[in-house]
Homo-oligomer: A and B are copies of this chain.
Amino acid sequence: MATYKVPLKDMRFVLNEVIDVSKVTSLPGYGEVTPDLIDAILEEGAKLCENVLFPLNRSGDEEGCHYENGVVRTPKGFKEAYKQFIDGGWTNVTTDPQYGGQGLPATVGFVMQEMITSSNLSFGMYPGLSHGAYEALHVHANDTIKQTYLPKLGEGVWSGTMCLTEPHCGTDLGMLRTKAEPRSDGSFDISGTKIFISAGEHDLTDNIIHLVLARLPDAPGGTKGISLFVVPKFLPTPEGKAGERNGIRCGAIEHKMGIKASSTCVMNLDGARGWLVGEENKGLNAMFVMMNAARLGVAMQGLGIAETAYQSAATYAKDRLQGRSLTGPKNDKGPADPIIVHPDVRRMLLIQKSFAEGARALAYWIGSLIDIAHRHESQEEREKADDLIQLLTPIAKAHFTDMGFESANLAIQTYGGHGFIRENGVEQLARDARITMLYEGANGVQALDLVGRKLPMKGGRPAQRLLGEINGFISAHKDDAAMKEFVEPLEKAIGRVQDSALWLMQNGMKNPDEAGGAATDFLRLMALTAMAYMWARIAKASQAGLAKGTDNDFYNAKLATGRFYVQRVLPQTTSLSHQIKAGASTLMALDAAAF
């Protein structure tokens, strides 16, 4: 069976020793938030995840959601779990105190997202979507809308969705056709069909608040004529209750490869009443703010699944007796050795482990940057943090989800044939993880976002910030003999990034297909390098830990895992830089008909 315990010790290590969460808790407005408070919250969250959400993961997959006459029923146990979830205040952790939220740092939200996803990705989709809708309304809606919806969404008694995709358009939202007709009272009648709407219909909450992209009658074509509307399933009464049924209905749910306990709905809008959020024709901008946050949420899903996959594989590898070590029996008295004696099994486990631990550090660092970007007194610091977030968002989204899926597959491989059997639970991780590479912008779209938008943005400032950050670390530790084994490979990798970026600038300007053809490889090159930077920081923190003389096993394991990363994973950067510089001519040579 799949295994998961919230890795609280490692979470604390990253928060306190790698990224130094006191930089977050000392920000203006976080007066009462201390590292100890954060710790207590995470411990409570861990109990819920381990005891309530994780045990429902397998049964939720097997049962799936049920659709009948427009009504969606979630699998057995989800309703009760959701009640415990909102009763514990878990939907309101990072939300605005003005609307009843707890106002904790985004960094804490990231840690919670990780453990929720590790436990039950399908379950996590419901509050995750609500949070996205909350954020979009919080930033873009007027006060009336905020007062109407934010408290309920924060409390979790109402949930939210993002209604973007239509049958003929996903990535290319410029083609969307859903129409909004103004009514005399300032609201709108909205009609159209949306697909792939996560949490579009379900039985967990009293009301569902849809954020819908649609076109006004006089709107320009393409992406510049799209507006954002809030469309509740039930129109709120003046007392703030769910009132009259609105004309937005679920026509079907999708039968999917994974996340089967998350309802994915076809939503039909037939003159549904909605209210404009933000400015006319600026809906896509508003949605993009939300999507960037959502992309980081999806990155956390990749990490979350990777952790569960790693723990499951490691547990199995220590238990399963099969064959003997190549260097002689290690379990003389048993009928065979546990398969963890085999170097190739360890190779798989260490790919998982070095990813999960490095990605955790990178993710929480990004979380802390979000808090800094929102709260720091210095504009310079806010801007710097925002630059880094812009750049790191597509990198984390694509790389973490690619690796979440890979980690799930390595767990299957470690289990052997038993990994293919549904009841053992690891194949579900792969099926669930697979969607994360697709939604919120497929990973190829993330790569284009990185190369086409984030690299050239602001004259290349975000990329310079990251390179500056990493080069600063290299300079500071170059003469530290104990850090040499981490700093040297990092320096080589950053050299490859710089070299490839230069190649991209020279060639991608002349011919955009050169940028497009290099994008995926370049994203991975940057991701592997960013991970190497985090591993260098982890190594530094571990050396400091060892100097204190307590918990040596923990710190030595960190150093050993980091060594594996730089020696056996980071070399991928050599091939990537060759592939990038081979150019796009071989990609573009064939006529479409030759495929």
Contacts and interface: CB of A to CB of B under 8 A. Distances in A.
Interface string A556-595: 0100110110011001111110110011101111111011
A444 B595 CA distance: 33
Contacts of A435: 417, 420
A317 B317 CA distance: 41
A447 interface: yes
Nearest to A354: B586
A427 B255 CA distance: 11
Contact of A444 (B170, B321, B345): B345
Nearest to A405: B409
A422 interface: yes
Nearest to A345: B444
Interface of chain A: mostly helix, strand, loop or mixed: helix
A165 B417 contact: yes
Size band of the interface chain A makes with B: 35 or more
Contact of A326 (B169, B353, B427, B512): B512
B417 A595 contact: no
B571 A572 contact: no
Contacts of A511: 327
A401 to B, nearest CB: 11
B579 A568 contact: yes
A288 to B, nearest CB: 16
Given A421-B256, A431-B431, A582 B571 contact: yes
A335 interface: yes
Interface stretch (A47-55, A103-111, A516-524): A516-524
Interface stretch (A24-32, A146-154, A295-303, A336-344): A336-344
15 contacts: A196-B417, A256-B421, A257-B412, A257-B430, A314-B595, A318-B592, A326-B512, A326-B513, A343-B516, A344-B516, A412-B438, A420-B434, A557-B594, A567-B579, A571-B578
Across chains A and B, which 9 residue pairs bring their CB atoms closest together, nearest first?
Answer: A343-B517, A326-B512, A343-B516, A571-B578, A257-B427, A564-B586, A575-B575, A567-B582, A314-B595
